[in-house]
Each structure stands twice: as C-alpha cells, then as structure tokens.
Amino acid sequence: MTLTLSYDDKIAILDLGDDENRFSPEFLDDIEAKLDEVIQAGAHGLVTTATGKFYTNGLDLDWLGAHGERADWYVGKVQGLLARVLTLPVPTAAAVVGHAFGAGAMLAMAHDFRVMRADRGFFCFPEADIRIPFTPGMAALIQAKLTPQAAVASMTTGRRFGGTEAAGLGLVDATAGEGAVTAAAVEVLRPLGEKDPGTLGAIKTTMFGPAVAALRAAGEQTRG
C-alpha cells in the first residue's frame, strides 16, 4: 500500500492507494506524515481519494486480531488521526470513489466536505451488524456531522448507502460520475482560496470541541 501526494495548483490530492486501504499502523503513520507535508507546503486545501474500488475499508481487523493486547493503543492511534483531519487547518474534501466502511467512512466524515461516486460503491457504518459498538469518540464525530435522523439511520442499522441515497440523507454533500469524483472534490475546495491556517484550525477546534475531546481521550488514556 503506497500513499501518493500530488497537487492541482495549490490543492493537495492524497491518494490512499489501490487496495482496501485499511488502517494498519504503518498506513496511519504514512498518512500522518503526508498531512505534515501538506501543511508544511502551505496547501490551500486537501482532497483524499483512492485508485481502486475502495476509498477505505477502515480498521485493519487482521492486524487487530493478531495484536489484541495493543487494541487500546491502536484505537487511540486511529482516533488521533480522525481528530487531526477533523481540525486540519486547511479546507478538506473526501473523494469517496468507492466503498467507505466503518472507520473508513468516519475518515470521510472527518473532512469538511464529501463527494461520492453516484453509481457505484457503498457508504456504511456496519458496527451494528458486526457487533462492534461505536466508541464515544467515533459516535461523537459522526453525530457532529449529521442530523439526528441521519445518525440513527446510518449508525443503528448497518445499512449500505449508495451515492445518491447517501447524498439525500446528508452523509455526503454531492455525487459525481465515474472518473469525475476526485475532480469534483477539488472544485468544491478551489473557490475557498487561501485561508489563514491558525484561524481555520481554531474555528474547527471550537466547532467540534466535544468530538475532538472524545476522540483524543482514547490516546490520552493509553499514554497515561
């Protein structure tokens, strides 16, 4: 799995890869490093996308199964990434080119905007069906972005939403056709221009304060 970073003018485009793009510890380290690069480069925005039929399938359950004693550390690491994306001091958009499941859908939700392929791929929180309750931080993230009706419809049912249905419910902001999702996400950010990073980061941190605190609490407990 190789993450690649490119630019369309001053908008950074981070490709998560061409497989299931699951959150292995190495993947999490790589994406954190790429976010560092984006900020250091003074990018005017960030789009995350993927190459294959998955945006990301979320948690690396194989790794977790083999390292159960490190589960708390791992969840703290995942939630730390979600909190960082949620408060990133540049405008962000997720180009959901394919399936986004579980923590992968949460990563998309942590962005400011989401564009999803209209005709293929599912956006899904499967936790109710796979018997993995949401952590307080993950629940707070999703509920910070959705109406109560949409949160119930997506969090308690395990339903798989196609692009058009996801847009109607408010899980994503817009849809686009095959091959056009990433470009559409870039165009969402382009009119926003250059924002002062300190101001934008402070605004997001205040807007999503309870979710950020809940997400980061897991990492703090692990360290403490």
pTM over 0.85: yes
How many degrees, rounded to 5, is the angle at CA 128 between CA 81 and CA 185? 45
* Reported confidence tier of residue 224, pLDDT bands at 50, 70, 90: very low
Tokens 């309750």 correspond to 133
- What pLDDT digit, counting tens, does each position of 165-184 carry? 999 999 999 999 999 999 99
Mean pLDDT across the chain: 95
Q: What residues contact residue 181 under an 8 Å CB cut-off, 6+ apart?
A: 49, 95, 96, 97, 115, 116, 117
pLDDT confidence of residue 219: 64
Domain ranges of the chain: 4-221
Query: For the segment 138-167, what is each residue's pLDDT rounded down to a tens digit?
Result: 999 999 999 999 999 999 999 999 999 999
Q: What is the pLDDT of residue 221?
A: 58
**Which residues share a beta bridge with 30?**
none
Provide mean pLDDT across the span 111-140. Answer: 96
pLDDT digits (tens, 9 = 90+) for 45-77: 999 999 989 999 999 999 999 999 999 999 999
What's the pLDDT at 130?
Answer: 93
Q: How many CA atoms lie within 13 A of 196 on its CB side?
A: 4
How many C-beta atoms surround the C-beta of residue 158 within 10 A? 13
Instruction: Name the CATH superfamily housing domain 4-221.
Output: 2-enoyl-CoA Hydratase; Chain A, domain 1 (3.90.226.10)
Q: What is the mean pLDDT of residues 184-211?
A: 97
